[in-house]
Amino acid sequence: GENVEQHPSTLSVQEGDSAVIKCTYSDSASNYFPWYKQELGKRPQLIIDIRSNVGEKKDQRIAVTLNKTAKHFSLHITETQPEDSAVYFCAASAYSGAGSYQLTFGKGTKLSVIP
């Protein structure tokens, strides 16, 4: 099955700096790569996603890049703010049979933005 590795597990940045989180996946058939943000005790919320036919996608201060050949994708947050502090999860969607797809998540990155 699909395996998703996420690095780093923790990341501290100064307010205003950029943060980069990287993920690799194993199943070359995976075609959908969402990123979720989870604040303490809350539900994961989708912040950005990218499909396999696109190399980069940007939404204000957040961008995601995908390299299908190398099977890795990254989340970039620019001009970080204290409210960006949370755990971020990457995921990859792979076919799981019977016409269904399954999201496999990375183990998460705890981002701390220091004011």
Q: Report the residue from 84, 104, 111, 113 that binds other proteins according to the rule CB under 8 A.
A: 104
Residue 17 DSSP label:
S
Q: Report the residue from 11, 13, 62, 103 that binds other proteins according to the rule CB under 8 A.
A: 103
* 25 in contact with other proteins (CB under 8 A): no
> How far is residue 95's CA from residue 20's CA, in Å, rounded to a whole number?
28
Q: Report the residue from 19, 23, 94, 113 that binds other proteins according to the rule CB under 8 A.
A: 94
The token pair that represents 45 in the structure block: 């919320």
Residue 81 Cβ vs other proteins, minimum distance, rounded to whole Å: 23
**Which residues does residue 9 pair with via DSSP β-bridges, in sequence order?**
none
**Contact present, 74 and 21 (Cβ < 8 Å):** yes
* 71 in contact with other proteins (CB under 8 A): no
How many residues lie near other proteins (CB under 8 A)? 31
**Contact present, 36 and 48 (Cβ < 8 Å):** no
